Amino acid sequence: MVKGLYTAYTGMINEQKRLDVISNNLANANTTGFKKEGTTSEAFDSVLAYKIKDTTDPVKARNIGKMSLGVKIGESYTDFSEGSLRVTDNTYDLALTDKGFFSVEFTNKNGVSSTKYTRDGSFTVTREGNLVTKDGDFVLDNNGRRIKLDPNAEIVFGKNGTIYANGSPVAALGIKDFEDYNYLEHYGENYFQPVEGAKLKNAECDVLQGYLETSNIQVVSEMVQMISVTRAYETNQKLIQTIDGTLDIAANQLGKI
């Protein structure tokens, strides 16, 4: 079998994956607190180098012929860099100045609740006085409890996360951080959830009232990458068409001679 077909095929699959990620980033360019994602690729030469240096099985020979000669989809990653701040002057719009996340109680369709983390500080207060996200999820305090406020009181959020109602402290925002962001995964648009091995720590950031953090996506940069990905996809597609043409000649023309 012609390996060039599979090499070009792996290239198309890789570019399709990259295009899906870029499209998702562009779709969330205006999502508050969204963190863009990216993908990595592994070429044949780098994978081969790992195979050669792999000493976990020194006795048995490895059949390198089973390795794909094309590109291998590596892993997806999240860029946790901070987005720019936008002034709203709304009482319940909050932004964090450094690394850290707001703690939120999320309930799925099955009624199971769990703690998620987000940079989206566009909150509001219900009639019952619960501080919630725009999707209705409860914002948690530093003890993991729901925050309840007086809707008629003058609410002020201190830089350290303390919440004041008419000048008196009533609660403190549950702002958390993680030692290693590799143990966080995206959940939905702008929620994150810890995976096994994640370790919480105290967040060292300030809370700004009347601000929101925009997404950290540069639309122009994403569009340039999209054009590059599209051209790479078309190149692999043309390679497959060229190889298919040579096989047609070999089978239907040279075979008759």
Express each pLDDT in 11-21 by its tens digit. Answer: 888 899 999 99
Express each pLDDT in 108-154 by its tens digit. Answer: 888 889 999 999 999 999 999 999 999 899 999 999 999 999 988 99
Rounded Cα gap, residues 94 and 84, in angstroms: 13
Dihedral sign for Cα 214, 220, 223, 225, please. negative
Q: Residue 60 above 50 pLDDT?
A: no
Rounded Cα gap, residues 188 and 193, in angstroms: 10
Closest CA to 179 of 61, 100, 86: 100
Mean pLDDT of 52-69: 53
Q: Residue 62 above 80 pLDDT?
A: no
Closest CA to 33 of 127, 132, 119, 123: 119
Express each pLDDT in 156-212 by its tens digit. Answer: 999 999 999 999 999 999 999 999 999 999 888 789 999 999 999 888 899 999 999
Q: Are residues 77 and 40 in contact, defined by beta-carbon separation less than 8 angstroms?
A: yes
Place of tokens 């012929």: 65
Q: Are residues 38 and 21 in contact, defined by beta-carbon separation less than 8 angstroms?
A: yes
When mean pLDDT is compared across 55-64, 166-175, 184-193, 215-224, the lowest value belongs to: 55-64
- Tell me the pairing of strands 101-107 and 138-139: antiparallel
- What are all long-range contacts of 167-170, with beta carbons under 8 Å and residues at least 24 apart? none
